[in-house]
Structures are given as C-alpha cells and as structure tokens.
Amino acid sequence: MKSVVIEQPGELVLADRPLPQPAAGEVRIKVHYASICGSDVHIWRGHNPFARYPRVIGHEFFGVIDAVGPDTDARRLGQRVAVDPVVSCGHCYPCRVGRPNVCQTLQVIGVHRDGGFSEYALAPAANAHPLPPSVPDKLASLVEPFTIAANITAFLQPQPQDVALIYGAGPMGLTAIQVLKGVYGVQQVLVVDRLPERLTLAQENGADRVFNNSEIALAAQLEGVQPTLIIDAACHPAILAEAAALASPAARIGLLGFSGEPCSITQQALTSKELSLFTSRLNSHRFPQVIAWMEQGLIQPQKLVTHFFPLAETARAMTLFEQDPRTCCKVMLQMA
C-alpha cells in the first residue's frame, strides 16, 4: 500500500508499505479521504515534540472498514467510519473522569502511531465511528477538526447572549464560529485575524463582525465592547494577556495553543475580573456529538474545504497549505 511517511524531520516520502494486519480489538480502514492539519506540517518540519520517526502522518481521515482483528465484531466490515485519533488506556485518572484526550499514556493516531495519509490504516474498533448516509464521504474527515471546537465549547458553555470573540480565522477559528452560531445560537460572534481573505471566510462561516488587527490594535476597534467569551484559535502566546485585558468581568477564556514559549500575564489581570480560563487539547469522546451536528445540519463542513489533491501529491498539498493561508483552509487528500 502507498503511505505518506515522514522518515525524519524534513523528509516526506510516498512509501510502499506492507498491508497492516489488525490486532485483537482493532479494525483496518481502507482510507478514502483525509484532510491536512497544521500539526501534520509540524511533524514534517520536526516541530512536534511528541512525534517519533519514521511516521505515517494524518489524524483526520475517513474510510470503510475492510478487515477486523481476532475477537473483533466482523459485522462492522463495510462500515463507513470517521476515526477518532485519541487512543487512551481507559483506566488512569483522566480516563476515569472522562478526559481520555489527556490520558497518562495518550497515543494519537498520526503522531505517536501510524495515521491516515495512507491507503489503509489501523485503529482500535472503538475509535472508528460509524457515519450516517447524510454525511458525505468527501466531508467525513472533517468530523475531527470540529471535535476541537466541540471540546473547547463544552468547557465554555456558550449562551445565546454571549458576546464571543475568536482570535484567528484559520480552520480552528472557523469551526469554532460555526459551532458557536449553529449549535449554541450565540448572537454576536466577533472574529479577529490579520489576513483579509481569512476574515472573508470568517463571514462566510457565520461571523457577525470581523476585525483586521494587522495595523490597528483590536482594543481600538472594539469601541468598549467587552467580550464575555473568548477563544484563542490563533494560538500565539501574546494573545492571553490581550484577551484578559479586553474581556468583560466574569468572562471565560478558552486556550487552544500549544506553544512552548512563555506568555506573560499578571494574576491581577485575571483575578480582578474573576476570569475563567479553560484549556482544551484534542477531544474527549466528541465524535458522536459532531456526527449528530452534521446529520442535523447545524454545522457546514463544506464551507471549510478549499482544495482536493490525490495522495501522491501530498507534499505539494502540504506545501500549499503551509505557504498560502490566504487561499487555503482545509486541503483534502483523496486516496483513490
């Protein structure tokens, strides 16, 4: 089978690999579509501290179960599935309290183990979530990026009367807009980014007001509006301090960034307004919820898709995704 392998940082090859055999409790998926995420590029560039090489990347993928391991339900053969990349132990403290995404021995498919930029991939049977016919093949890999928004909003508990502010109109910001508007009915969703093309996409995804902070600071443009809910989907370490300064008293702030750089903020900036700070990593069992949202038409994954490439052109697709944030949002890979 053909697989996209990062042999070592900087070295991406389309390799011929033996067809993997599912172990007990696992299924094998014939992958049809996958989508590129920033973290795939980080593994390629050697910027992901968790990645081990060589690695088949890809954690957003869709396909059909074509083999099951010993003692695994054979009735699942032929099932269309989206794969949750979070593989957890099930018995450590975070797993016991429903937070498998921060399992003590967390393994992420496409990061710690081989992923879905491949003609076939293995996953624990429980991670392969069946899809209703109303979720089309071409869009099914986008369940995963929406689970990121599902996870942070589960902490933030958005209310219709919230004034929400989202930093960043990349894929994470756009999924957050859609979830705040379509699922939670938040009446005012404000979005800030530095690229006008991305702000146009934000409006197409439901943003009520957009702000370009490339030249004029956001504070000067908000004219005293104090957001009650803020999501940092731009993930720059400088944002938290600004968000705390702009936030309404009693606001909630959600952080999605994974930078190793320190960020500087005083206790007073948080405590004087009694701000709540939530962090969110990957997703905790959010696949069924997002699949239901898609089925009910509450979110529109097609609005994120800008490009399709065949698997053989993954390097070109990832380069475009990396270098051209003005025209790229979700770049999709088609296996066959």
DSSP per position, 2-18: EEEEEEETTEEEEEE-P
Task: Tell me how far, at minimum, the Cβ of 306 lies from Zn ion, in Å.
Answer: 16
- Applying CB under 5 A, which part among 103-111, 189-197, 255-263, 301-309 lies near Zn ion? 103-111
Cα distances (angstroms) measured from residue 97 to each of 60, 91, 100, 125, 304: 25, 9, 8, 21, 33
- Kindly tell me which residue out of 14, 15, 89, 315 binds Zn ion, with binding defined by CB under 5 A: 89
Site for Zn ion in 261-290 (CB under 5 A): none
Task: Tell me how far, at minimum, the Cβ of 121 lies from Zn ion, in Å.
Answer: 15
Task: Tell me how far, at minimum, the Cβ of 298 lies from Zn ion, in Å.
Answer: 21
Which is nearer to Zn ion, 27 or 111 (by Cβ)? 111
For position 332 contacting Zn ion by CB under 5 A, the verdict is no
E strand spans, the chain: 2-8, 11-16, 26-35, 55-56, 61-68, 80-83, 86-87, 107-108, 120-124, 128-130, 163-167, 188-193, 209-212, 229-232, 252-255, 276-279, 305-310, 330-334
- Applying CB under 5 A, which part among 71-79, 88-96, 242-250, 253-261 lies near Zn ion? 88-96
Site for Zn ion in 9-68 (CB under 5 A): 37
Which is nearer to Zn ion, 103 or 179 (by Cβ)? 103
The letter for the amino acid at 26 is: E
Which is nearer to Zn ion, 37 or 189 (by Cβ)? 37
d(CA 81, CA 30): 10
- Kindly tell me which residue out of 6, 36, 82, 103 binds Zn ion, with binding defined by CB under 5 A: 103
- Binding residues for Zn ion, rule CB under 5 A, total 6
Which is nearer to Zn ion, 60 or 162 (by Cβ)? 60
Cα distances (angstroms) measured from residue 150 to each of 42, 160, 212, 284: 23, 16, 26, 9
For position 95 contacting Zn ion by CB under 5 A, the verdict is yes
d(CA 43, CA 84): 19
Whether 55 contacts 115, CB under 8 Å: yes
For position 88 contacting Zn ion by CB under 5 A, the verdict is yes
- Kindly tell me which residue out of 92, 265, 298, 320 binds Zn ion, with binding defined by CB under 5 A: 92
Which is nearer to Zn ion, 108 or 122 (by Cβ)? 108
d(CA 5, CA 2): 9
For position 111 contacting Zn ion by CB under 5 A, the verdict is no
Helix (H, G, I), strand (E, B) or coil at 66: strand
Which is nearer to Zn ion, 37 or 251 (by Cβ)? 37
Whether 203 contacts 178, CB under 8 Å: no
Q: What is the binding site for Zn ion (CB under 5 A)?
A: 37, 88-89, 92, 95, 103
